Chains A and B, each alone.
Chain A
Amino acid sequence: MKRIGIFVCHCGTNIAGTIDIARVIEEIQKFPEVVCALDYKYMCSDPGQQLIRDHIRDDKLDALIVAACSPAMHETTFRKTAATAGVNPYQTEIANIREQSSWVHQKQREAATNKAIETIRTIVAKVHYNQSLVPFYLPLVKRALVIGGGIAGMQAALDIADAGYPVVLVEQSSGLGGRMGQLSGIYLNFEAAPDLLSQTIEAVTHHPNIQVLTNAEVTQVGGYVGNFTVHVEQRTPEPPEPASATGVVPGNPVSYSFDIGAIVVATGYDLYRKERLGEYGGGRYPDVIDGLQFEAMLRRDGPTGGLIRRPSDGRIPKEVVWVQCAGSRDPELHMPYCSKVCCMYVAKQAMLYKRQVPEGQATVFYIDIRSQGKGYEEFVQRAMTEHDVLYVRGKASKVFQEDGRVKVWGVDTLTGLPVEVEADLVVLATATVARSDAQELGQRLRISMDEHGFFNEAHPKLRPVESLTAGVFLAGAAQFPKDIPETVAQASAAASKVLSLFSQRQMVQEPTIAYVDPEICSGCGLCIPACPYEARTMHEWRHIAVVNAALCQGCGACTVVCPNKACQVRNLTPVQILAMMEAYL
């Protein structure tokens, strides 16, 4: 025999305004095993919780039901209340009489009251069979994997490694630095990106806690938060000369396998292919280039030794046009979103051009200037006032070659005049897009992507650095276009999420998940494809289904497909469900 206490919440007038609380109390007192039934204005308040604790003590309750709002709202609250008074938290159940009764039957007092009584009756039947459960404790591997060796990945790796945990940093290309490594002077102070990066690369490369694998790729990810198994393949670097000349034959890829507790995805971005912008002659005309090509031109170690030259004939360009939003903010033909970094880097590139070619003319076609950041607006204004960059409001419509120059057609919407610039060089600020291989990686990591291929954060406002897969975190432009300071901030945030995970001794998992009765399971395997969380596998030699407790979310899909009820969810067994049905009918 259980000793059940029922606590009915008024929720102010939310429940009591519709439901006849006195009648509810009168009825539910008669239910089997119910020792006490009380009501209170706000059960979730401190005095309300104290009322529960007092009655647990005085009436020697070993199970309780709180008839109140949705369990999504306060189940955890009341389970904690029970635990503090010495009752197993899994002996506490919520009867939802607000969302499912008073709110949906506001003008039907009697029906709503009856429904509340019947709802509580079913929960009483369920609680009769509730087991006292304890959470699972799962091991936690305190080693992080960082995918991507750009500024995001390096920052995350450094933060985690500095806290004393080992990090494996996997980079696809032959060196660290990523996209930032392709930039010249950066806004706002024109500091050379390579100089700025060299310190970070140095720190990462020589950090005792960081293992850097370049030319490497994550090929397989298994397991779950705290216990991932990750396979990495490293290509043998190409020999500097043809194999025949040196006698060196590139070997097979080297395979690594790591036990990993948490993963930071920092794989960065691609630029929208300028070839897809036909009206701008991208890919057709040598003097129409993209932002990164212009960056390369500005670098001392670039193809022109830092000198701005026309790709077609190597002459100094006297008229340079930048076309902003090339492929961005174009829901009809290209990408609908704002690529975020272009307004700023175009201003910077135009200023660097004017510094190098003071007599030259810099013209920027734009539709809006988006300069959100500390000092950003002032920076763009300086491009106009101090560097004499002409901003023309209107999206360029056509770029074509004529008499050895590239003509740009646009309109100045401020005057309403169609304009034309005979340019020597056109720089397209092409859209920032997800990496072409992002989807493949996303599938391997079981993390979701938006329609453009950027990895999804768990919540756009409150969980911006976590993916929806526990233990996988996001940093940098792989999540959405962002500039260096934002990327560094997100990388450090992702690292701190990893560290907060690693600060636990072990992982705690709710016990209200599925289990398989090994005596009944026939090994039919139906539950394996039914599980949406890949939490079900066939045991290697016992040939019965086993549950991976870390992955199971207790959804119950397996219990539905199981032909002989070997699959059950703890505290939501078929016996309980039938008992609830019986009580109701």
Chain B
Amino acid sequence: MRVRLSGQSVHNELVRRVEEYSGQDLMACYQCGKCAAGCPVAFAMDMLPSQVIRFVQLGLVDRLLDSKTIWLCAACQTCYTRCPKGVDLSRIMEALREIVMFEKGSYINYDAISPRDVMEWPQQAFIGGFRKYAV
């Protein structure tokens, strides 16, 4: 399907929300791909991190909400550390997760996690989990 681009379509409500939640200048990204090249979890993603931001630039946020990529992002910020334009992609990922959770609710049920798991899981996993799954 041919995607119709227009002033309205590239500035839709979802794009505005990504911009607001992430606090990032979405148009600053010039698509060099360095984020995708260095991402430690890109191998498992269904869409490259750089493509995520490109979809937002094109106003195609709705196509991102079902993607696995936004949930695989570990918020490690390797991308942001290396980005030549200072775009914090992990915040954009976070914004997209927030939109999903606002729309569909949280996937995490903290009470269902056993105390043993809480003891054993690395702290990073908890922080990542909260960042990702908590409303």
Contact = CB atoms under 8 A, between A and B. Distances in A.
20 contacts: A318-B7, A361-B6, A361-B10, A384-B28, A384-B30, A385-B27, A390-B27, A412-B3, A412-B58, A414-B50, A414-B54, A415-B55, A415-B58, A417-B3, A417-B58, A418-B1, A419-B5, A420-B2, A421-B4, A421-B6
A319 interface: yes
A418 B3 contact: yes
Contacts of A392: 5
A422 interface: yes
Interface string B20-36: 00000101101100000
Nearest to B33: A414
Most buried by B among A392, A417, A419, A420: A417
B27 A421 contact: no
Given A385-B28, A409-B2, 5 more contacts: A381-B28, A418-B1, A419-B4, A419-B58, A421-B6
Q: How large is the interface on B (under 10, 10 to 19, 20 to 34, 35 or more residues)?
A: 20 to 34
B57 interface: yes
Q: Which 5 A-B pairs have the closest CB atoms?
A: A361-B7, A420-B2, A414-B54, A418-B2, A419-B3
Given A418-B2, A419-B4, A390 B57 contact: yes
A360 B10 CA distance: 12
Nearest to A384: B27
Nearest to B55: A415
A388 interface: yes
B106 interface: no
B74 to A, nearest CB: 23
Contacts of A412: 3, 54, 58
Contacts of B4: 419-422
Nearest to A363: B5
Nearest to A392: B5
Contacts of B67: none
Contacts, number: 59
A319 B31 CA distance: 23
Interface of B: 1-8, 10, 25, 27-28, 30-31, 50-51, 54-55, 57-58, 60
A390 B31 contact: no
A393 interface: yes
Contacts of A415: 51, 54-55, 58, 60
A36 to B, nearest CB: 69
A313 interface: no
B82 to A, nearest CB: 18
B2 A419 contact: yes
Interface of A (DSSP majority class): strand
Interface string A350-394: 000000000111010000000000000000010011001010110
Contacts of B55: 415
B5 A390 contact: yes
B36 to A, nearest CB: 11
A414 B10 CA distance: 16
Contacts of A388: 27
Contacts of A422: 4, 6
A414 B4 CA distance: 16
A414 B8 CA distance: 21
Given A384-B30, A409-B2, A419-B3, A390 B54 contact: no
A393 B58 CA distance: 11
B63 to A, nearest CB: 9
A360 B27 contact: no
Most buried by A among B3, B5, B10: B5
Contacts of B54: 412, 414-415
A319 to B, nearest CB: 6
Contact of B7 (A359, A381, A409): A359
B47 to A, nearest CB: 9
Contacts of B1: 418
A420 B54 CA distance: 16
Nearest to B10: A390
Interface string A308-337: 000000000011000000000000000000
A275 B20 CA distance: 45
A101 B81 CA distance: 62
A403 to B, nearest CB: 13
A388 B2 CA distance: 23
Contact of B51 (A359, A385, A414): A414
B108 to A, nearest CB: 30
Contacts of A393: 31
A385 B2 contact: no
A415 B67 CA distance: 14
Interface string A467-490: 000000000000000000000000
Given A381-B30, A414-B31, A418-B2, A319 B51 contact: no
A127 B73 CA distance: 84
A385 B6 CA distance: 17
A568 B54 CA distance: 74
A361 B51 CA distance: 22
B5 A421 contact: yes
Contacts of A420: 2-5
Most buried by A among B8, B10, B58: B58
B25 A385 contact: yes
